[in-house]
A and B are shown apart, each in its own frame.
Chain A
Amino acid sequence: MDKIKKEKIVFTIIRIISFSSVVFLLTLLGFIFYKGFSVINWQFLTDIPRNGFTEGGIFPSIVGTVYLIIGTMIFAVPVGILAGIYLAEYAKENRFKNLLRVSINVLAGVPSIVFGLFGLAIFVKRMHLGVSIISGSLTLGILVLPTIIQATIEAIKSVPDTFREASYGVGATKWQTVYHISLKTAISGIFTGIIISIGRAAGEAAPILFTAATFYTRGLPTSIFDKVMALPYIIYGLITEGTFPDKQVPIAYGASVVLLIIVLLFSTVGIIIRLRVRRRKSW
């Protein structure tokens, strides 16, 4: 077989494989939308569940997911950014730093159900926070922390050292340089990491399973110590424990569509920001 023929065959295979990934994605989206779109209407989005989740809407779960996102970010964003700054700008290259780096990488790979168990043991039980928004937020916060730290480190590392030199050259202190130059230059990269984390925190069911979520509550949560309904969890609950599957399964698909839209919305914003920054980046 001659080279050109060989190349053609290989390229065809590669093309089919890459194309099939797109097919899978579209099939998945199509399937979920097909199954769930019929139940979505204004009432579905704004009403509370009625008659044991066979009627009404999923409004409290949307609110619950939003609360969990906000809580997660309040905890994870400052800690993640500060840890990233420390590792990128301050920590000296030594064993301790390597240990930190390895730990963060390992943490990023820990299954989310393990985070759920950890949250149950520490936040719910040990710290007596109960099954609550705050326990769930802290658990999700730890889950997304590695992502935010890594994004911060990457973004700060990509700031050229010549900027820092220029800043020191006019007499800036280390902190002034880190704050005004490194951080401000890196901010969009960090932001992208945060957006990705939001998508992750919104979609995970396992970490909130024992720490925050409940299948049904009356009305909306009134404090951070309340249990909360959340989209991933009601999907799980409706599918596994529903007693009226013919009415509840469509609601689960509807909730999946809403969750997908929320997550896609966030990642789209992330992608747009990244593209805009790449275009503006001039050094």
Chain B
Amino acid sequence: MVKVEVKDLKVWLGKNFVIKGINLEILENSVTSIIGPSGCGKSTFLRSINRMNDLISDANIEGEIMIDDKNIYDPDVNVFDLRRKVGMVFQKPNPFPKSIYENIAYGLKIHGTKDRNKIDEIVEKSLRDANLWDEVKDKLFENAFALSGGQQQRLCIARAIAIKPEVILMDEPASALDPIATNSLERLIVELRKNYTIVIVTHNIQQAARVSEYTAFLYLGELVEFNKTEKIFTMPKDKKTEEYVSGRFS
């Protein structure tokens, strides 16, 4: 089933025409990778899906993004509810300067959950789902910055899933991590796809191959090719895609 349908999306950042009309369908409970060279608009595209681009004052957006058949750019859409439904994990781990517990409770509290027991329960479940519980259960009230980079990023994933999103956007989530932390993050992503629709931007082509079922190749703001990941890697239709996935891109 299609979860996110992007229809002729165009994005300008100031005078820069960054996304030049993209059409794309993202299936429910799957992992879709967005790959492409630096500056091709991957991050901008991703940030259109939870309207983080709204925060940039000179961003202009045209086209539609349908989530569950509702255009998220409709005037009656509450952007804060949207971001609750479409969570985000950022390039650099960015926990809040608060305790591990508070990092996860934050999203719940701002959305009105007051029941302490319920918060406790969700904090534990989110940390378990993010494969972090065993490492942090004895130091829930210590500052999140005491964790390693990889742990911080899994904490950020736990924070994102605590508010029960349906879609999770990941913007190069492993780019600041060492190989071992990257490995455990990738395993987590594969586990998470059972329950979430995941869109991941990555610079690492092998990572796209390892974690995703679908891959979109973006180049200069346009969608060059979109297909099942194995097809993109074994039988790319476009010459540019072939060059990029084989590392011969210049």
Residues of chain A at the chain B interface (Cβ within 8 Å) = 92, 160, 162-163, 165-173, 176, 180-181, 185, 280, 282-283
Contacts and interface: CB of A to CB of B under 8 A. Distances in A.
Nearest to A172: B110
B141 interface: no
Given A171-B83, A180-B110, A166 B97 contact: no
A50 to B, nearest CB: 55
A168 B96 CA distance: 12
A218 B142 CA distance: 55
B90 A166 contact: yes
A169 B145 contact: no
Contacts of B84: 170-171
Contacts of A163: 94, 96-97
A162 B90 CA distance: 9
B173 interface: no
Contact of A169 (B50, B92, B146): B50
B81 A171 contact: yes
Interface residues of B, number: 28
Contacts of A169: 50, 52, 83, 87-88, 90, 160
A166 B81 contact: no
B107 interface: yes
Contact of B96 (A92, A167, A173): A167
Contacts of B81: 171
B143 interface: yes
Task: Kindly list the 8 A-B residue pairs having the minimum CB-CB distance in the complex, ordered from nearest.
Answer: A282-B145, A170-B107, A171-B84, A162-B94, A171-B83, A169-B88, A171-B80, A166-B94
A255 to B, nearest CB: 43
Nearest to B145: A282
B96 A181 contact: yes
Contacts of B107: 170-172
B68 to A, nearest CB: 17
Contacts of B88: 169
B80 A173 contact: yes
B172 to A, nearest CB: 14
Contacts of B95: 166
Interface of B: 50, 52, 55, 57, 80-84, 87-88, 90, 92, 94-97, 106-107, 110-111, 143, 145-146, 156, 159-160, 163
11 contacts: A162-B90, A166-B96, A166-B156, A167-B96, A168-B52, A170-B110, A171-B80, A171-B82, A181-B96, A185-B97, A282-B143
B159 A170 contact: yes
A282 B156 contact: no
A108 B66 CA distance: 52
Nearest to B111: A171
Contacts of B82: 171
A140 to B, nearest CB: 33
A160 B146 CA distance: 18
Nearest to B89: A169
Nearest to A160: B94
Nearest to A164: B55
A183 B145 CA distance: 19
Contact of A283 (B97, B111, B163): B97
A163 B145 CA distance: 12
A280 B160 CA distance: 26
Nearest to A177: B110
Nearest to B83: A171
A283 to B, nearest CB: 6
Contact of B83 (A168, A180, A185, A280): A168
Contacts of B94: 160, 162-163, 165-166
A170 B106 contact: yes
B199 to A, nearest CB: 14
B110 A176 contact: yes
Nearest to B93: A162
A169 to B, nearest CB: 4
Contacts of B160: 169-170
B46 to A, nearest CB: 12
Q: Among A162, A166, A171, A180, which residue has the most Cβ atoms of chain B within 10 A?
A: A171
A33 B87 CA distance: 62
